[in-house]
Amino acid sequence: MTDRPLTIAIFGNSFQPRKSTSLLRVLSFLKSRGERVMFDREFYDFLTSEHMLDLTGVDVFDGDDFDADFVISMGGDGTFLKAAVRVGIKQIPIIGVNMGRLGFLADVLPAEVEAALATIIAGNYAIEEHTAIQVVTEGGGFEGCHYALNDIAVLKRDVASMISIRTSIDESYLVTYQADGLIVSTPTGSTAYSLSNGGPIIVPQTRTLCLTPVAPHSLNIRPIVISDKSVVRLEVESRSHNYLVAIDGRSYTMHEGSAVTISRAPFVTRIVKPNGLRYFSSLREKMMWGADKR
């Protein structure tokens, strides 16, 4: 805890108007403490023009032109992932206020937000450092975001046929996947798309990556876990001559003949955990890990 006012940057999802009540609670609490509040301009414009909210006294920033002591993500896990990429190399700790359904990353409930923020401002919190990954493409233009907190996947673009993915780890040939796609996930992303395709659950601080095939055309292909220091190179062949690269679920078209290289990003995402919240309790409560419904 410091004597100076904290600077809090707020990000949100412009398509979830029901969170305005919780947002006003957050804003009222921070103002009552004398903290400085900044809003992402797109979110600010949405709230003031579409919902006519009075946000007098806050600052507004554009793009990556911000610095803060904490970032608050108001939304679900998708909003949190976007905020994490915007923070990037700044290494600002992120507080996730859950306005979505699952809230595995955004795990502060709206009803608990004042208590959680008071705890954080008092300095009673832990920070989990989560590995992020980046993608570099060769032989084809890529105009999307290059960083992901959950996963980067190459996927077939049409419903007609699978793709062929020649995979190398640190310049050593691994295998050629015949599948609908391949997911390279961080430990954070191990409970997302990778899990739904049979991948393992990996604890965030293990410093690993997991390669999980999507609908492989083989019975003896299994997910494989590697060090996050490794560099993964993927060369894709497709009958449709193009394929998709999905960055935390946002898809971009690539042309056959282009290669994709995936490696650890030059930063980690720092997630604030107030009130002793821990990973395994989230697994049990939100993923129903080990639940016996008999």
C-alpha distances in Å from residue 279, one per residue of 34, 176, 191, 201? 32, 34, 11, 11
Contacts of 183 (CB under 8 A, 6+ apart): 151, 152, 153, 189, 193, 194, 197, 199, 210, 211, 212, 213, 214
Is position 248 annotated as part of the catalytic site? no
The string of DSSP letters for 9-41 reads: EEEE-TT-GGGHHHHHHHHHHHHHTT-EEEEEH
Token readout for 4 is 């100076």
What global pTM score does this model have?
0.89
Low-confidence residues of the chain: pLDDT under 50: none
What is the C-alpha to C-alpha distance for residues 281 and 26, in angstroms, rounded to an integer? 25
One of 45, 64, 77, 292 is an active-site residue; which one? 77
Greatest distance between any 2 Cα atoms in the chain: 62
CATH class of 133-265: mainly beta
Q: What is the pLDDT of residue 293?
A: 73
Q: What is the pLDDT of residue 108?
A: 87
Q: What is the pLDDT of residue 2?
A: 54
How does pLDDT run across 28-68, given as a tens digit for each residue? 999 999 999 999 999 999 888 877 788 888 999 998 899 99
What is the C-alpha to C-alpha distance for residues 178 and 166, in angstroms, rounded to an integer? 9
Q: Which residue has the tokens 């979110």?
A: 43
Q: What is the pLDDT of residue 233?
A: 98
Q: Are 26 and 97 in contact (CB under 8 A)?
A: yes
Q: Where are the domains of the chain?
A: 7-123, 133-265
Looking at residue 5, the DSSP 8-state letter turns out to be: P
Reported in sequence order, the residue ranges of the chain that DSSP labels E, i.e. its strands, are: 7-12, 36-40, 59-61, 70-75, 94-98, 125-138, 147-148, 151-156, 163-169, 172-179, 181-185, 208-214, 224-227, 232-237, 242-247, 250-255, 259-274
What is the C-alpha to C-alpha distance for residues 144 and 151, in angstroms, rounded to an integer? 14
CATH class of 7-123: alpha beta
C-alpha distances in Å from residue 101, one per residue of 75, 134, 152, 286? 9, 27, 23, 10
User: Across the strands, what pairs with 173?
Assistant: 168
